[in-house]
Each structure stands twice: as structure tokens, then as C-alpha cells.
Amino acid sequence: MSTQAPGVPTSGYAPAGKDNGVVKSKGTVNLPRAEGREPVAHRSRKPEWLKVRAPGSPNYLRLKELMRSQGLHTVCEEAHCPNIGECWESGTATFMILGDVCTRACKYCAVAHGLPTELDWDEPRRVADSVATMGLEHAVITSVNRDELSDGGAAIYAETIRQIHERVPGCTVEVLIPDFKGNEAALRTVVEAGPEILAHNIDTVERLSRWVRPGGRYWRSISLLGAVKRLNPRQLTKSAIILGMGETEDEILQSMRDLREAAVDVLTLGQYLRPSEHHVPLDRWVTPDEFRRWKEIGERELGFGHVESGPLVRSSYHAREQARELDAGGPGAITTILEADDAESVQIDAEEAAARATFSAPPTARLVQIGTL
């Protein structure tokens, strides 16, 4: 097996222009792949089924201005979502709380990695105000990882849920949470705030997880979803798998089975779109027919309440319909969190330690760029 991605710049991915932290390079991409199987070239032409209209409608521009005026971020923008034009035109968006710099360096993700320097306790109010201004019936909230916080940001998640429910009665709330390093108290904080859907994405199959999700753990993620059902058996749960990073069909099927062991209700499957040449190479374009087949297997054979499967599908795609039309199943075979980290297990390298000391007080300059593209 080869582990070196060809033609990848060694400096790594470190986007500029971020508001809330010290940005660091994500480093180089190493991923096992079969010998003789070359990845899809980064600049190669996309299949017809992946082509979408460039955003620019009046509603898109209105929402973009609203987000900037409120000092908010969306995962639609930060993760380069291909559906941003469609969703924003229809008045829906996925808010990204806890800043725009993530403590983890997932090799497929366009969100900046580094050391966050701020915690904005007014953010839940501004998100709720924006939900009210947009007139949303369903709000989706996600975040960066904040591993430097004892609760991973769970308290701000919970406050955001409560403020949306209070500010916009009848609006359903979906949260796409990090794993909180397996901290059950943090998970309970979010569950008890009462989101209509609680999602956590495994993103890839077990074999590839340790390569593309440094800091994450495959079974921690699955068991976190299982533990939700123990804390609230009527909670709708959801996860996602991105296809096209080198997984096999047998591995996809096994991951779907693993999620059902945790009684996950909703699964989304979508095409991996490589954000830059610094990220995991694209292994293949997955056809619409294959996505349809996975939907049939998931719903008819494995018992998912709903499978949203297609090339352009992302975790929050058609989320409003899922929140209003599905009933949650009860607990599954897995209900205890596995592979949890204790507080002493978090590793901070020398560069991060120096940055943390520098930014122990509110910085004058909000961004320091470490490394180059």
C-alpha cells in the first residue's frame, strides 16, 4: 500500500482571513491506497451530475450580508458546500458556532485548523436573532471542534438551542456536534437542551478514519450516537459518510451496519469534493446509481428511518423534512461511549503551547498566520 499523495505541496493547508484563532497548517496528506490506482487529478472536470449553478440570487446576497452584520459564520461557506446557492436561495443555512478555527486537522475538511482564541457567549443570542430574521422553520447548528475547552463548547450549543426555541416558537433545531472527546457530561448538556435532531458524523469508514480524522476515533463517534439514545430514547439521531476517499463497498456497508448498532435513525451519503491539492486525494466519482442503491440498502435492509443519498448531499440537506416527518427509534446495542479521552490525554505541541501563552489575554490582532500555503 502506498501512503504518499503525489504532487502535494509540503507546507499544507492554512487559509487566511479567519476571525477567531491562530491558524496552523494541516500538514501533508498521507492515505493508504491500492498500488497502481491513481487518484483523480484535482483540476479534472467534474461529471455532469455534480455541476451546480453559481450562487448570486438576491436572497443569497441578503443572507450573506446578514451573517456578516451579525458576526456569524456558516459551514456552508467555510466547508465550501456545493448546495449553498440552492439552500440560501430558499432561506436556509447551517450556522457554525464557536468560531471559524478548529482544533483538529481533518484531511478532507476546508475549515481552518489551529488554536482558537475567543469564546463568544453572545453568539447564541445573535444566532437566534438571525433565525428569527430569516423566518426559519428549521435551524441547523454545527461548530468547529474546541478541544481546549473542558466541555468542548457544549454549554454554548445548549444555550443556542434554548434561545432559538424561545425566540422562534415552533422552529425545530438540528445540531451537528463534535465528539466532545467522549465526554458524556458535555453530551448530556446538549441532549437536555432538547434539539429535535442530534447529529454527529463519522465521515468515513473505520480503516480510513485514523488517517483522515486525526484526533477523532471511529468507535467513539458511533458509540456517542448510541449513548444519546440512552440519555433520551426518543431523540432523533443522524450521521453522515462521505464517499470517494478510497473506501470499498464492503466497508461502506459495514459502517452503515455499525451505525445501526447504535440505533442511528438518519444517514446521509454524499460525494467527497476535494477542497484543495493539500487535502485527501479524490479516489473516484460515485455515480447517482450507486447512491440510489445505498439508499435502498439503508432503508429496506438495514432499517434506517431515512437515508438521504446523492452526489451533492451534505449532512443538513433536506433536514427540515427529516425533523418533521420521522419518529425516533429506541436504543440500540451500543449505548456506552467508547474510546473517550480523559482531560490529561490532550496533546499540545510546542508551537500551540507558545501560541496559547501569547493569546492568554485578548489579542490586539485577531489573526496570526503560522506557516504558508
Beta-sheet strands, E only, within 185-305: 197-199, 236-243, 266-271
Amino acid at 214: P
Q: Which residues contact 107 (CB under 8 A, 6 or more apart)?
A: 26, 29, 31, 211, 212, 213, 214, 279, 280
Query: Within a 13 Å sphere around the CA of 73, how many CA atoms are in the beta-carbon half?
Result: 21
Closest CA relative to residue 198, chosen from 169, 168, 157: 157
CATH code of residue 78: 3.20.20.70
The verdict on residue 8 lying in a domain is no
Q: In terms of DSSP bridges, do strands 112-116 and 21-24 run parallel, antiparallel, or are they unpaired?
A: antiparallel
The verdict on residue 362 lying in a domain is no
The verdict on residue 215 lying in a domain is yes
The verdict on residue 224 lying in a domain is yes
Q: Are 212 and 108 in contact (CB under 8 A)?
A: yes
The verdict on residue 41 lying in a domain is no
Q: What is the pLDDT along the chain (373 residues), one digit of tens a residue?
A: 434 443 434 455 555 555 555 666 656 555 556 556 788 887 788 888 877 666 656 666 666 676 667 666 665 555 556 656 566 565 566 888 998 889 998 998 888 888 888 789 999 999 999 889 888 888 899 999 999 999 999 999 999 999 999 999 999 999 999 999 999 999 999 999 999 999 999 999 999 998 899 899 999 999 999 999 999 999 999 999 999 999 999 999 999 999 999 999 999 999 998 888 888 899 999 999 999 999 999 999 999 999 999 998 877 666 656 666 788 999 999 999 999 986 434 443 444 344 334 333 333 333 333 333 2
In whole angstroms, give the CA distance from residue 52 to residue 186: 38
In whole angstroms, give the CA distance from residue 164 to residue 184: 24
The verdict on residue 44 lying in a domain is no
The verdict on residue 333 lying in a domain is yes
Structural domain count of the chain: 1
Name the pTM for this structure.
0.81
The verdict on residue 305 lying in a domain is yes
Domain of residue 238, residue span: 54-343
Which residues are 180's β-sheet partners? none
In whole angstroms, give the CA distance from residue 266 to residue 248: 21
